[in-house]
Amino acid sequence: MTLRFGVVGTGAIGREHIDRITNKLSGGKIVAVTDVNQESAKQTVEIYQLDAVVYPDDKALIADENVDVVLVTSWGPAHEATVVAAVEAGKYVFCEKPLATTAEGCMRIVEAEMKQGKKLVQVGFMRRYDSGYVQLKQVIDNNEIGAPLMIRAAHRNPIVGENYTTDMAVTDTLIHEIDALHWLVNDDYKSVQVVFPRKTKYSHDKLQDPQLFTIETNSGIVMSVEVFVNCKYGYDIQCEVIGEEGIVKLPEFSSVVMRKDEKLSTGILNDWKYRFMDAYNVEIQDFIDSITKKGEPEGPTSWDGYIAAVTSDACVKAQQTGEKEAITLQERPAFYNEKELQTV
């Protein structure tokens, strides 16, 4: 069986996912695309030589009976409307983060999905499929470092554009740690506080950069997470978990070690595309395989999207108030309790 994908949003990551589904993975095929920039949608069909219909908008694409799965890779603010419409039409959805830009928006998706009576949606939190994070989780779950006490993490991008603002350090960037860190330690968040250190000269008026988030969980684990999106030197993701019996750290991205000119050096990547390439491949292959073999996706759910949105709202509030802000989730519906997320 081949799953037929319709893609909404043919920008950077939309094209990356189209390329992997068409040329690298098995069991999926792109049959339809759309983008508010219709030229971009048409170009994408040409570049990847797709046998796909170009639709004027997401509604027309969702209505195509040849589309089994809607792949949502448009801008974050457009996600909710597309996901709700696709779920109401009974289609499977793979939605890039954020699921929706507000907790209320995520809840509307959760309600639409529960009404359909089966899981249809997976959110693009690919770190759960990254082999480094999977190894960290195994160590923690096997109790090899005892109870986790603290986490030190950093999310660094080399540079961002003028349209990237202070709140996006949370909604666009920290959102990956928000999803991955509570999943790593099997805990829920309780509060967050933000500190703005001295601002880098490489930032602009509307962006405070870097930022330091202190997030506490219900069991008292304290996580210190740096977001620094004009760090200049590369794309760098760090995570160290300090436990009662030992410490475990995310491996560095593998790169050759060079001895030259009296220096010992290894490369650092400069783009998320390369750092998480394997994770994206595993993530989408798992999405295809779960639906094909078990009838529903088994990755991060709409409820995970909701948890991330509630936490993200509290982080943005903490940016504005400078105070410790509470993170309060609604009770998890039994619908989302059935199975543990399967990873690699």
- Return the residues of window 156-195 that contact ligand NAD according to CB under 6 A: 172
Q: Which of 58, 209, 226, 325 binds ligand NAI (CB under 6 A)?
A: 58
d(CA 197, CA 193): 13
Q: Is 40 in the site for ligand NAI (CB under 6 A)?
A: yes
d(CA 315, CA 43): 38
Q: Which x/- pattern over 127-166 shows residues binding ligand ISE (rule: CB under 6 A)?
A: ------------------------------x---------
The residue range among 71-79, 161-169, 289-297, 313-321 that interacts with ligand NAI, by the rule CB under 6 A, is 71-79
Which of 212, 208, 203 is closest to 154 using CA atoms? 212
Q: How would DSSP label each residue in 12-60?
A: HHHHHHHHHHHHT-SSEEEEEEE-SSHHHHHHHHHHTT---EEPSSHHH
Tokens of 28: 């999926």
Which of 106, 62, 82, 316 is closest to 193 using CA atoms? 316
Burial annotation 283-294 (CB, 10 A radius, 16+ → b, else e):
bbbbbbbbbeee
Q: Which of 78, 139, 150, 341 binds ligand NAI (CB under 6 A)?
A: 78
Query: Which among ligand ISE, ligand NAI, ligand NAD, none contacts residue 285 (Cβ within 5 to 8 A by kind)?
Result: none
Q: Is 132 in the site for ligand NAD (CB under 6 A)?
A: no
Does an H or E element contain 169, and which? none
Nearest-CB residue for ligand NAD: 11
Q: Which of 172, 177, 283, 298 binds ligand ISE (CB under 6 A)?
A: 172
In whole angstroms, how close is the CB of 126 to ligand NAI at the nearest point? Answer: 5
| 256 CB neighbour count, 10 Å cutoff | 7
Q: Is 299 in the site for ligand NAD (CB under 6 A)?
A: no
The residue range among 26-34, 37-45, 62-70, 170-178 that interacts with ligand ISE, by the rule CB under 6 A, is 170-178
The Cβ-side half-sphere exposure at 85, using a 13 Å CA radius, reads 17
- Which residues contact ligand NAD by CB under 6 A? 8-14, 34-37, 40, 58, 73-76, 78, 96-97, 124, 126, 172, 272, 276
